[in-house]
Amino acid sequence: MAERADPGAVVAARPSPPGVRGDRRGWVVAGAAVVVAGLLAFHRAVPNTPGRVGSLLESFLPWLGVVVVLVPVAALVRRSAVALVAALLPVAAWVHLFGGLLLPGPADTGRELSVVQHNVSDENRDPAGTARTLIEADADLIALEELVKPQLPLYEQALAKKYPHHIVRGTVGLWSTYPISGGRLVDIKPPSFAAGWSRGVRAVVHAPHGDVAAYVAHLPSVRIGAGGLASERRDESARLLGRALAGERTDAVILLGDLNGAVEDRGLAPLTSRLNVAERGFALSFPAAFPVARIDQVMARSATVRHIRTLPATGSDHLPVIARVGLE
């Protein structure tokens, strides 16, 4: 006679096969890995409306590397093979986009210019110390923005000995160890801005290896608010600067400036589509207290920006950047 089951007996749960529970829990981690990889690889597909969310993502795109590091850690904690495999996707995408910036710059070929870019800040309380930091960098060219009347004579006097050639238009200027000519204002003023707004200058630098058209620009600021990224005026100014660069007849061109945007930001496409950007170096420059983005840029045409790095902090809210530009 068969035994009857005791209704009050506790039936032990069947153990899951090894790895099944981990894999199930790992699907969330795997999904996150796929999303991050997609944002890195296809950031241009993210729409810019509403709130210019695409530009906002691209402004901080390298920081997705933090998530890239955390995903494999989460996969190991979950002991999920699926999540570990998926974690390779964002790693590969990040390395493809930014891995090269971590490599050391190539050796000097002898046909280079060393250039410094710095927004000195109109609230800088130590312009003399700022000038010393810039001089100690021993660059061939120095581009400065936010030059205001009380401070401008101090920079001119401090830089005069090492940089006898300079031009200032509005609040931007260029100092050079080599002779310059053809200096003129570059009109990058958005139509809605008042007359007198002047933040662009161009001059030809007569360097030992050939003439170089040097542009210095300070594009309008952007703001992040409840409505997203307010970058319309910056984008308008970038388009005007792009047109000026397109019409430049000198083959070699160097653009230095506070462009208020990362090179990945689609708002700077009128410039990045025409010019080479830095091949090596992150050089996060803003804000100086805790830099999260490089908005101080060096770009070039018929030349290569071989390496870019930051210089010690000055009295500005930006860090200076110095780049090696190889002439072709």
CA–CA separation, 137 and 173 (whole Å): 17
Residue 210 sits in the same domain as residue 78: no
Residues paired with residue 176 on neighbouring β-strands, in sequence order: 141, 165
Task: Provide the residue-wise pLDDT of the chain in tens; the chain has 328 residues.
Answer: 555 555 555 545 455 454 445 456 688 889 999 999 999 999 999 999 888 999 999 999 999 999 999 999 988 888 888 989 999 999 999 999 999 999 988 888 789 999 999 999 999 999 999 999 999 999 999 999 999 999 999 999 999 999 999 999 999 999 999 999 999 999 999 999 999 999 999 999 999 999 999 999 999 999 988 778 899 999 999 999 999 999 999 999 999 999 999 999 999 999 999 999 999 999 999 999 999 999 999 999 999 999 999 999 999 999 999 999 999 8
Domain co-membership, 150 together with 252? yes
Token code pair at residue 318: 């930006």
pLDDT number for residue 13: 47
What is the helix (H) or strand (E) element at residue 325, kind and residue range? strand 321-327
Which tens digit of pLDDT belongs to each residue from 218-275? 999 999 887 788 999 999 999 999 999 999 999 999 999 999 999 999 999 999 999 9
| Residue 18: count of CB within 10 angstroms of its CB | 8
Q: Is residue 7 part of a domain?
A: no
What pLDDT was estimated at residue 91? 95
Q: Using CA atoms, how far apart are residues 303 and 252, in angstroms rounded to an integer?
A: 6
Would 8 be classed as within a structural domain? Answer: no
Number of structural domains the chain divides into: 2
Q: Are residues 182 and 123 in the same domain?
A: yes
Q: Are residues 133 and 186 in the same domain?
A: yes
DSSP symbols for 61-87: GGGHHHHHHHHHHHHHHHT-HHHHHHH
Question: Same domain for 301 and 174?
Answer: yes
The domain containing residue 69 runs over which residues?
A: 20-102
Q: What is the CA radius of gyration of the chain?
A: 26
Residue 28 neighbours by CB under 8 Å, 6+ apart = none
As a whole number, the mean pLDDT across the chain is 92
pLDDT at 108: 80
pTM over 0.85: yes
Full 3-state SS string of 14-62: CCCCCCHHHHHHHHHHHHHHHHHHHHHHCHHHCCCCCCCHHHHHHHCHH
